[in-house]
Amino acid sequence: MAEISLTVTSGVLAHAGAGRESLRQIAYTQPTSDVAAALRAAPASSRVRIRLGGPVILTVGDTGAIWRAHNADAAAAFDALFALLAQYPSQPMRFVCELAE
């Protein structure tokens, strides 16, 4: 099963506070080979949808981060995940994932 590490950095927390939610991003690293190629090819013009832990589907439109601005349709899920990761700034958490249709 594919996995990925997700992190909210201290720098993002300092930069993307209240009123700047669209600048929030969740950095991703260490995707397993099952999803790595698709994520490397995920510039904004060719976005990829990724399913995290089963029910959460987010859009990736960057080769190193998942941006809130790319997830207007999933803002509640993005915000919940961001809030969880923000409790442990700059500490990666590992998640099971897969490419979503």
Per-residue pLDDT of 54-69, as tens digits, reads: 999 999 998 899 999 9
How are strands ordered across the β-sheet holding 48-52? 56-60, 48-52, 93-99, 2-7, 25-29, 65-67
- Give pLDDT, residue 44: 62
Domain borders along the chain are 2-99
Query: pTM of the entire structure?
Result: 0.91
Closest CA to 50 of 40, 16, 91, 88: 40
Higher pLDDT, 17 or 68: 68
